[in-house]
Structure 1
Amino acid sequence: MEQRRACEDATPRPRASHAASRVPEQARGEHTHGEPSAKRPAAVRHAVQRHSVRGQILDALRTALVGGELVPGVVYSAPVLGERFGVSATPVREAMQQLAIEGAVKVVPNRGFRVTERTPRELAELAEIRALIEVPVMLRLARTVPAARWSELRPLAEATAAAAARGDRAHYAESDRAFHRAVLGLAGNEQLVAVAEDLHRRAQWPLVNMPATRRADLVADAAEHGALLDALVAQDLTVVQSLVREHFTSAKG
């Protein structure tokens, strides 16, 4: 018996693969609840931090795009933008790749990324698609959602009005999306919200040779949010449909 046990101990056991040993515990399904972040492997912490930086850069690039700081037709290199944001070129390049997927920029080999040049016709097409998707949903919501729920969205409408009053194009675009996202969210369809959000974001990209947005235009657009809520509370379907269609034909939201 002792001799058999000794033989078994001497038998080489298969080692875990090198690739598996690098897989984070979360990805392998192992229990990590309550584990202090300081004890996480350095590779995991680095991956999380990198993802966070890339997300922050993506948000900053989107803001610069909507605000007109990134000009349609101009090519921007990742290293130069990295210097601007105080980061390496890698997270900038990754963020730009995401914008390329969304259609905001195009990859220019060995040079960088060119901001997409859009035309009024493209904007009109986006408005048509948004209307086809959102108008029927909002009409249905107007018939079914209690007035109290619409009142809960007033702060979002007020946020767009505040950004418009400041003439803050980038923050207006963000608060405008938040308002529409909240309205459509009442339908309970996450896929609908995601598709509408993508179309909305595309509609906010600057046009070729687009003049600076006037504050008065933003204020007028923001006022439509409050008017829309009033119509939804009153279940005035005719006004709801008219306001939504008119809102979509505007380049501001």
Structure 2
Amino acid sequence: MEQSRTRAPGVPAAGRPTRLTTQGVTARAPADPAPRGQTTGPPRRGRPAPGPAPQPWFATGSAAQPRSARGEHTHSEPSAPRVVPQRHSVRDQILQALRAALLSGELAPGEVYSAPALAERFGVSPTPVREAMQVLVSEGCVATVPNRGFRVARHNPRDLAELHEIRALLEVPVVLTLARTQPAERWEELRPLAEDTLQAAVCGDRGAYAETDRAFHRSLLELAGNAQLVALAEDVRRRASLSSSRQAPTRRTTDLLAEAADHLALLDALSDQDLPTVERLVRDHA
């Protein structure tokens, strides 16, 4: 396979995750009673009568009890299910790091990156990197290049305009409905999330701001009780955020502060049921 550009996000290489193995333990059920018609006979003279067979240390419940009398229906204790370790936590960590690298420009538009090269920098196997990259493919952030790796997508101003249009169509009607139906105290519950975006903006941390911004809007839309809407709107917002970073790769802290201030202003307008202001803020918010 042709080795593509191997520059990866500036994340310090971590140790390879310990491989976990889990073996299920099955309790042995007691032996079946003697077949019908067969007798064991009395014990021989001078020898003690045999007692119940000793149970293994891991047997519990009905499996550890003596055999039932003839004709009684018995059940053995079901064995514990085998626990299979999951890779999702590793994949999710890689996915978060890759998204941050896309936002910061460390993964440059148009460049091709191979999963093995990225995995070496992260100190993991290529599998979770490929899985994370496939998530980014579904989000339109990268594209698969056969036998090479993944190419970071380029976004033009038209892409950004279309995403903002879709976002407005999804969010504006929902938020206006919430403004008419939700009590004022409900919006105060979202104020800590809005303040988180402000704190990230003050620090100039674009990656943290993108995450806190999505958390605020996700919690806002969740009040509508439509999980599919929330997932779709979050996907569109993530794509728009990445596309926006391509158009303005050096966004200033003042720009982030202005966007974070919109969150607080939106909560004030929602509390006052100021519908024109609510619509303007939701429609114009980046």
On whether the aligned pair clears a TM of 0.5, the verdict is yes
Structure 1 CA distance, aligned partners of 2:129 and 2:101? 13
Residue number in structure 1 paired with 2:274 = 236
Residue number in structure 1 paired with 2:257 = 219
Question: Aligned-pair distance for 1:147?
Answer: 0.6
Residue number in structure 2 paired with 1:105 = 142
Which amino acid in structure 2 is aligned with residue 148 of structure 1?
A: E
Residue number in structure 1 paired with 2:209 = 172
2:162 to 119, 122, 125: 125
Taking only the aligned residue pairs, the percentage that are identical comes to 64
Structure 1 CA distance, aligned partners of 2:37 and 2:240? 75
Task: State the Cα deviation string for residues 9-37 of structure 1 (Å, max 9, x = none).
Answer: xxxxxxxxxxxxxxxxxxxxxx88xx7xx
Which amino acid in structure 2 is aligned with residue 244 of structure 1?
A: V
Which amino acid in structure 2 is aligned with residue 82 of structure 1?
A: A
The normalised TM-score by structure 1 is 0.79
Question: Aligned-pair distance for 1:122?
Answer: 0.6
Structure 2 CA distance, aligned partners of 1:113 and 1:4? 72
Task: State the Cα deviation string for residues 53-98 of structure 1 (Å, max 9, x = none).
Answer: 1122112212221232211111111111112211111211111112
Q: Is the 8 A contact 2:115 2:149 kept in 1?
A: yes
Structure 2 CA distance, aligned partners of 1:124 and 1:245? 12
Question: Aligned-pair distance for 1:210?
Answer: 3.6
Question: Aligned-pair distance for 1:208?
Answer: 4.3
Task: State the Cα deviation string for residues 191-236 of structure 1 (Å, max 9, x = none).
Answer: 1101101101111114546431111100000000000000000000
Which amino acid in structure 1 is aligned with residue 224 of structure 2?
A: A
Structure 1 CA distance, aligned partners of 2:247 and 2:227? 35
The normalised TM-score by structure 2 is 0.70
Where structure 2 has 5 or more consecutive residues not aligned to the other structure, the ranges are 1-34, 39-77
Paired residues in the alignment total 214
2:137 corresponds to 1:89: no
Could you say which structure has the larger radius of gyration?
2
The change in CA–CA distance for 1:141 and 1:4 in structure 2 (over 3 A counts) is same
Structure 2 CA distance, aligned partners of 1:150 and 1:210? 31
For 1:133-212, what aligned pairs fall within 5 Å after superposition? 133-206=170-243, 208=246, 210-212=248-250
Residue number in structure 2 paired with 1:10 = none
Report SS of the residue matched to 2:144: strand
The change in CA–CA distance for 1:225 and 1:101 in structure 2 (over 3 A counts) is same
